[in-house]
A and B are shown apart, each in its own frame.
Chain A
């Protein structure tokens, strides 16, 4: 394990916090161009794998067969925030697929989006499985499991046919066979790979000609444009993973405990980073630093991420009480 400080935080002029982690940039040929920490260290993808996990469903045309719209199918790749339009789309997917909410393996949850959860509480609505951010992925996995001849309800088990197929896609798109398995927050298998392979996978999703499987490459080129057309399905109002995908030169998806995968389409670069302490709220700062360093920061994306105040620390009273500094400079 070799990682390094990514961000330092100061309250007043006094150093208060240090966040350690990894950062890796790969080129078109998956070669590491820049890294903080050891790019061969193993990290969990967590939800950053969702855009890949969606692909075997799209490859088999299961979305079209059941009349699931392109917008709805984008939820397969997202970690939705539980806003009303997400829930409507999920209910539509279940109805069209002939599934019911009780078939999902996760326990009932509440929306991540604050206003949606407050509205739920005020209306006296109980937690439900569809509010869980992973519900779209679970629907995709059930579709795949059934198509492969498995019992749909078994989609979450280690060794389920759907999981074996997902692993094949993850390993091919990530160009690795070094996958370790764990259990994700929502109960399904989660995949750990060398962190440079996460960067490689995101690069491959914007440069699919580099995927060593023609059918997979074709699926990627069909699916990824949907993420750019329907970025609100990747997360929700005001979230990084929605805002980043409004820039169709970028592809981005975060995962729990600080992991992030991103790619730059024109530049054919893949990026992955992870805060080893699990921090997620500093993602916008790393994205600004990386995109700025790579000369690929659009005006819109810059404004949008800067509006999240990644360099300034405000207290509960909205008073400026400190600042943050990056500990690295991306140069390639």
Chain B
């Protein structure tokens, strides 16, 4: 697989680090721009969450249990364990009767350092719902119960729940079911790999649901995108790049572990995917800003991201000691 340098990091005038990776932009005709190869097999990781939620949504399970728009939105997110996220997860459990102890992940503390510190200071034990994937797990547990499977089996690769999720991944990724590779995610559930460009394709379809042939799935996507735009904090958390981007009703962005980033742009009919091949997560903001700049998209969103994610490298003393520079060109 051919990768190219996406970012260079300089400390003074010496090149200290480089991040290799791939990028791909698709429109409804296919790949329109790329950096490196586009058809190698790439894990979605958490970038699949807005798709994994769809089997639950098409069955109307959120309505069946009276979940609010905000509560339903967290199914598609990797939340930072903020107070709002904990409140939402607890409310979902109260309404559905799902139990925290049935989740497969180990208890942990939230992603957000300030939240983690506050909980430690208050001597609060770690919990499963603090895990960034707990919204997805509740969503899958709901599906398992509806399918008549033991709720505790929702994470098993051969469960009906996971087979149905895999079919949805295949459908949204325009990939044959048998061409999807399956691994195990950080949180213990199956994770799906598809040809890299198809991650961009899926985000194009999320942004432009009129491209989805199946009316039920199309309707579920339309409703879910409306929820995510109304509650962008549920996709990650206040100030996080995914949330800053998804706050714009024209856009959706979702990160995945080990350097995966996916963006959809409704007005331009584009899906964009990035993978940093060393797994770094520090480049998500600069990937979005640079892609928007090169494609002439959303300068105001880029500015809002830049405000929170500077391109200079600061040391522990908050002095600027270097700079991160994008070097990729989305070649048409």
Task: Give A contacts to B, CB under 8 Å.
Answer: 1, 9, 11-20, 42-44, 105-107, 109, 118, 121-122, 124, 132, 180-187, 190, 192, 257-258, 275-279, 315-319, 321-322
Contact = CB atoms under 8 A, between A and B. Distances in A.
A14 B16 contact: no
A321 B11 contact: no
Nearest to B123: A122
A319 B184 contact: yes
B258 interface: yes
A183 B315 contact: yes
B316 A107 contact: yes
A217 to B, nearest CB: 29
Given A20-B20, A278-B280, A316-B108, A192 B184 contact: no
Interface residues of B, number: 48
Contacts of A275: 278
A121 to B, nearest CB: 4
A221 to B, nearest CB: 32
A322 B321 CA distance: 36
24 contacts: A1-B15, A15-B41, A16-B279, A17-B259, A44-B11, A44-B14, A107-B317, A107-B318, A180-B13, A180-B14, A182-B14, A182-B321, A187-B316, A276-B18, A277-B278, A278-B9, A278-B17, A315-B185, A316-B106, A316-B108, A316-B131, A317-B104, A317-B187, A321-B184
A224 B278 CA distance: 35
B219 interface: no
A15 B191 CA distance: 14
A122 B12 contact: no
A187 B193 CA distance: 43
Contact of B278 (A19, A106, A118, A132): A19
Contact of A14 (B14, B105, B181, B185): B181
Interface in B1-54: 1, 3, 9, 11-20, 40-41, 43
A111 B312 CA distance: 25
B16 A44 contact: yes
Contacts of B15: 1
B319 A183 contact: yes
B278 A316 contact: no
Nearest to A320: B184
